[in-house]
Amino acid sequence: MPITKYRSGALVDNVSIDIELFSSSACPHCQRASHRLEQLRQESGFANIAWRSVDVVAEIDRAVALGVLSTPAIAIGGKLVFTSLPTRQQLRDAVQNYLSNKESDDE
């Protein structure tokens, strides 16, 4: 199963962030989702997040396992969070929420 993209770094305040962008070549909004993830990485405190683009055709088993029914879809920490294109604020909030929950789990 090929990985189309992988962004280096996986730590934000010592908490691992794994983001998967499920996309397809026919998806008109997938490029915008990719751009939003890159924009998030430019913001203070998010420079080290890691994400990868998952081609739903090439990795259909992974997409089905998470319940992806349409693209773009975004999973954070192995859980499907968005089933359509999120706003920058929604994406930022979801990552921050993941970090908060992750820190609570580690205590």
Locate 87 and state its tokens: 């706003």
pLDDT of 8 > 90? The answer is no
Span 67-78, pLDDT tens digits: 999 999 999 999
- The pTM of the full predicted model, rounded to 2 decimals, is 0.81
Rounded Cα–Cα distance for residues 44 and 13 (Å)? 12
In a domain, 97, yes or no: yes
CATH of the domain at 48: 3.40.30.10
| Interval 53-59 mean pLDDT | 94
C-alpha separations of 5 from 19, 53, 91, 97 in Å: 11, 5, 19, 24
Greater confidence (4 vs 102) lies with: 102
Give pLDDT, residue 11: 39
Q: How many domains does the chain fold into? A: 1
In a domain, 47, yes or no: yes
Give the domain extent around 77: 11-101
User: What count of other Cβ atoms lies within 10 Å of the Cβ of residue 92?
Assistant: 17
Rounded Cα–Cα distance for residues 63 and 1 (Å)? 12
In a domain, 4, yes or no: no
